Amino acid sequence: MDKSALTATAEALVAPGKGILAADESSGTIKKRFDSISVESTEDNRRVYRQMLFTTPGASDHISGVILFDETIRQSADDGTPFPKLLAGQGVIPGIKVDTGAKPLAGSEGETVTEGLDGLRERLAEYYELGARFAKWRATYTITDSLPSSYCYDVNAHALARYAALCQEANIVPIVEPEVLMDGTHTIARAANVTAHALGALYRALFDQGVYLPGTLLKPNMCLSGYGAAEQASDEEVAKTTIGVFEYTVPAAVPGIVFLSGGQSDEQATARLNLMNQMGPHPWQLSFSYGRALQAPALKAWGGKPDNLGAGQAAYAKRARLNGLARSGDYKPEMEAA
């Protein structure tokens, strides 16, 4: 493990004004997104779409890294340049999703455990050779009146820590993603309680397994009301509650927190990140690792048509720029109309 290299990569990923593009959608997920614009999800259409994002002029001013899917890290641009090399040439760090998805947790109906540890050491070595310098592993937690169980917290924390240790052995920065799902009718207070428990279990496991925290990043949910809740928390309440949870669960040794958007609208994800940064300074950088919240306007503007590549890139560049401004609390809602 090269601690100095891991720290340098982690800090570069949360450099001021920058955040991460999550372009690691599984084949099933990107098919749904392509279906929404009536485009067939072929390997080349996926390649063309991601090339549009990766070659957007000026995006590297606000994007520090890109999480790739296994298919994408092996693809190349039209001129033959492998995508990891294309990104690195712009100063953007290539990353890779390495888990194989959340599967039903044996003995606990309604809960999941994320799989993918078998063969991970060998896959990480290959991904490093392909250019990846950071990775991502997502665990999910469902809120009901009785869930999550302590069993679910513990097994997912253990898997996240095992993944993180293997990443660092391969000199790849692990992003640990314990996502508390916001489906349901629960209150923001309930979401905060579950998020705190998930993070507490995670950091105990990371400590127990000797993971070097300055060479890691956290990718959490914001604390939100359940999407089906009668009363939705305000942006200010979301920001205040989320920061409150992190202040007593996330060690200061962690260089940065890169939020997932978790079904929030593009504008909500940006505005709430902005509010949290206005509440600083914090012990860690507060950044973003958005997928749909960065890509949705670009996907719609592109529509699968070659003539719309410029419009797609402009839409993506705008969202990247606005989220870059939210990193310092300088975003303003009126910028959406500019």
What residues are labeled active site? 177, 219
* Neighbour-count burial of 103, counting CB atoms closer than 10 A to its CB (0-12 exposed, 13-18 middle, 19+ buried): exposed
**CA distance linking residue 118 with residue 25, whole number of Å:** 21
3-state DSSP percent of the chain in helix, strand and coil, to 5? 50, 15, 35
| Location of structure tokens 């097994």 | 155
Short-list 208, 211, 220, 206, CA closest to 177:
220
Cα-based distances in Å from 50 to 25, 85, 121:
11, 14, 27
Residue 289's H or E segment, with its range, is strand 285-290
Question: Cis peptide leading into 148, omega within 30 of 0?
Answer: yes
**CA distance linking residue 68 with residue 205, whole number of Å:** 26
Give the count of beta carbons closer than 10 Å to the beta carbon of residue 22: 29
Cβ partners under 8 Å of residue 237, min gap 6: 188
* Neighbour-count burial of 76, counting CB atoms closer than 10 A to its CB (0-12 exposed, 13-18 middle, 19+ buried): middle
